[in-house]
Amino acid sequence: MGNVTVIGGQWGDEGKGKIVDWLASRADMVVRFQGGHNAGHTLVVGGEVYKLSLLPSGIVRGTPSIIGNGVVLDPWAFRDEVQRISAQGIAVTPDVLRLAETCPLILPIHRDLDALREDASGAGKIGTTRRGIGPAYEDKVGRRAIRVCDLAHLGELDPLLDRLCAHHDHLRAGFGEPPVDRARLKADLSEIADFVLPFARPVWKDLDEARAEGRRILFEGAQGVLLDVDHGTYPFVTSSNTVAGTTGSGSGTGPGAAGFVLGIVKAYTTRVGSGPFPTELHDEIGERIGERGREFGTVTGRRRRCGWFDSVLVRQAVAVSGITGVALTKLDVLDGLDTIRICTGYRIDGQAFDHLPPHAADQARVEPVYEDIEGWSESTAGARSWAELPAQAIKYIRRVEELIRCPVALVSTSPERDDTILVRDPFAG
């Protein structure tokens, strides 16, 4: 039995939380390896709803969970989420949850900068969550980040603050803002340190021991491949690499640790915020999909844009992330549609394209080429076997497999964890 990496195969919000929760019952450890609290995973267990942003989805099952070094951590958001989930009856202790001591911290100044930039960008807005994710990653690669381990050495913080503030004070001045309040920042960090530090560990050692013992590790990605800073629809992307190859660098394991790469994709397409969306629907069908799928962001509450399944983009995601199999979610949202469309290619100024070109000007001129498939009137909600699916629903799934050149390993038919059809066991490789 090997490891499994779960990533989003579209623009995020594909239902990774439920799938990770479902797989976590058979894993020995669950690891978040990138992103921040801009991620949003909703789990429904026995009618109880758990909304996670930073915590790995395995925490709800009590599976030992790790937040890896590739995550940027807002320590105050971390505390709030731990306390909220604990209040729902889930034990979140250092015995169950471990935090990489080298995680960069998201600070109030990062949130400030994120909002200032968005407000000043006009038509160039990216549509960030304004939670400081991007600025925190910038400081990480600029070698001026304050990390979790620094919370244990607050007396030696001044040289780090000199470097950090030299950068941020100039940026803030450009927006007409006062310099960083260093005393307030140090006081805030001192206040939160005692809560965070008990969770901090050299998690790479825990993972090394787990691998040596043959334990099954489930790596949990945030966002989706189409939001990857290198491979996504730039600049309307997140600030980290969301592809499966990031498991190693974001957790402290080698590149071979990823194992079976499970890409989560909806049976249709959604995205939040700005950016290209070739199959977006602006009609009553788009409204119906959004309402039936409850397409509102877990983190922001923003309404998601909805459209038909885009096999071109998913095929691209499969290729650049080495996806082994996909989990098709929210199939039941398509119940009752007379005709279902799948995008099979693009045209730009009459020229055929089998991929999305990288430049925004070309992307804006993309016209989707559709294939129509007969829908089904029967309900797929709650189905747990192929035998419970209508023939046309199975036909739709098989056509998706052909177009994306990747097999379907699981099918999800409701938010409930057990309403899942297992086609291929990811842990079996």
Find, among 69, 55, 56, the residue nearest to 140 by Cα.
69
Catalytic option among 37, 41, 168, 231: 41
Residue 72, phi-psi category: left (phi > 0), alpha (psi -120 to 50), beta (remainder)? beta
The question of whether 114 is a catalytic residue gets the answer: no
The 3-class SS string of 338-401 reads: CEEEEEEEEEECCEEECCCCCCHHHHHCCEEEEEEEECCCCCCCCCCCHHHCCHHHHHHHHHHH
Compute CA distances 240 → 99, 112, 222, 311, 333, whole Å: 18, 19, 10, 24, 30
Q: Domains in the chain and their CATH numbers? A: 4-100+202-260 (3.40.440.10), 108-196 (1.10.300.10), 266-428 (3.90.170.10)
Find, among 346, 279, 331, 272, the residue nearest to 305 by Cα.
272
pLDDT in tens, the chain (429 residues): 589 999 999 999 898 888 888 898 899 999 999 999 977 777 777 778 888 889 998 898 899 999 999 999 999 999 999 999 999 999 999 999 999 999 999 999 999 999 999 888 776 676 677 889 999 999 999 999 999 999 999 999 999 999 999 999 999 999 999 999 999 999 999 999 999 999 999 999 999 999 999 999 999 999 999 999 999 999 999 999 999 999 999 999 988 899 999 999 999 999 988 899 999 999 999 999 999 998 976 556 678 999 999 999 999 999 999 999 999 999 999 999 999 999 999 999 999 999 999 998 999 999 999 999 999 999 999 999 999 999 999 999 999 999 999 999 999 998 887 899 999 999 987
Question: What is the DSSP code string of 282-347?
Answer: -SHHHHHHHHHTT-B-TTT-PBPEEE-EEHHHHHHHHHHHT--EEEEE-GGGGTT-SEEEEEEEEE
Q: Are 270 and 303 in contact (CB under 8 A)?
A: no
The question of whether 41 is a catalytic residue gets the answer: yes
